[in-house]
Structure 1
Amino acid sequence: MIARQGYSAVQIGLHWLIVLLVLFQLVFGESMAELFRAELRAEPLPADAALGEAHIWVGFAILAAVALRLVLRLVQGAPPPAEGSAFTRRLAAATHILFYVLLFAVPILGILAYWWQPELGEVHELSKPAFIVLIILHVAGALYHQFVKRDDVLMRMIRPAS
């Protein structure tokens, strides 16, 4: 993996696209649960069935965007970790790894639950609190770097490397 000073415009764009897609899933995910339960019970589809269908397609989009982002990270590299204590560097690394694991595993679990093994829907639903905790840690870390350490780490995900 290549070390670089910042992210490319495509890496930054994919990051923010994934942010928006994940937020959509977190906000409107319950509509998918209602759609899924109605289909399992052969009941009429709920009024928000379109949001449930959107949940499926947004999940596919997340999977594709994350796969592309990971390929770009392997090919183009990423900036070195920010300065900090061993603990904060490990926490940041663990957060990023867990994000990638969830961003791949959760859509795959959703696909498996919807088309093959409905029981996996429960595991898929349990990912929501994990995502929320990771998002809080990630945002808190970015804000800490921006406003406490003032080291411009946040700008790496806003301004492309030259």
Structure 2
Amino acid sequence: MPISSYKPIQKALHWAIFLLVLACYGLTYSGLFFAKGDPGRALAWWSHISLGLLLAALVAGRLVARLALGAPELPATMSGMEAAAAKGAHLLLYVLMIGIVGLGVALTWLRGDALTFFGLFTLLAPVAPNPELARLVKDAHELCADAILIVAGLHAAAALWHHYVRGDDVLTRMLPRR
């Protein structure tokens, strides 16, 4: 039986991931307001890593929920090309979310740093520091971060277009019930 809306857990994960991506992106640039060696800069970096690890857990949960609970059917008014674009955008967002986390973990370890989750636990680097490879991974991590914002922006624009121009339920399926 087709479902007409996402389940509450899927909606909660969607919006939590959205906020975490924005927070991680913002923290990247907040470090620029502090001089090297300033505790504020270290706090921004530590928070970025901790939120990135939380993002990894929520993305994993989102994937499990998607596989277990499915997704609502696309509106019958969507053309084949629109449906393919919607499915492709969702797939690309999942790939970027997984990629950005994996690259972030690799970058941290290649810099010789440990991963810490809000000081609750620490994962030491299983590899030796490699500054050259770290620079390449950093570039890929930043590219994924920029790409995820662009794709998510297009995703949001499409949802708003569906809501205000098409008048279908694409947007409301992901909004909390009132």
Q: TM-score, normalised by structure 2?
A: 0.77
- Establish whether residue 56 from structure 1 lines up as the match of residue 49 from structure 2: yes
CA 1:112/1:45 → structure 2, altered by over 3 Å: closer, same or farther?
Answer: farther
- Establish whether residue 22 from structure 1 lines up as the match of residue 16 from structure 2: no
Counterpart of 1:78 in structure 2 is: 71
Counterpart of 1:141 in structure 2 is: 158
Q: Across the two proteins, how many residue pairs are aligned to each other?
A: 153
Counterpart of 2:121 in structure 1 is: none
Distance 2:37 2:148 in 1: 31
Structure with a larger share of its residues in helix: 1
**Structure possessing the higher relative contact order (Cα contacts under 8 Å, 6 or more residues apart):** 1
Distance 1:149 1:71 in 2: 31
CA 1:126/1:46 → structure 2, altered by over 3 Å: closer, same or farther?
Answer: farther
Residue 126 of structure 1 is aligned with which of 130, 143, 151? 143
- Establish whether residue 158 from structure 1 lines up as the match of residue 168 from structure 2: no
C-alpha offsets along residues 99-133 of structure 1, whole Å, 9 cap, x if unaligned? 00011110110110111352311211112221121
Shift of 1:81: 1.9
- What's the % identity of the aligned pairs? 36
Distance 2:66 2:32 in 1: 33
Counterpart amino acid of 1:138? H
Indicate if the aligned counterparts of 1:146 and 1:153 stay in contact, CA closer than 8 A.
yes
Report SS of the residue matched to 2:173.
helix
Counterpart of 1:65 in structure 2 is: 58
Shift of 1:30: 2.8
Indicate if the aligned counterparts of 1:31 and 1:49 stay in contact, CA closer than 8 A.
no
Q: CA RMSD in A?
A: 2.2
C-alpha offsets along residues 53-108 of structure 1, whole Å, 9 cap, x if unaligned? 11101111111101111101111111012331222111111110010001111011
Distance 1:77 1:124 in 2: 29
Indicate if the aligned counterparts of 2:3 and 2:71 stay in contact, CA closer than 8 A.
yes
Distance 1:85 1:115 in 2: 45
Indicate if the aligned counterparts of 2:99 and 2:144 stay in contact, CA closer than 8 A.
no
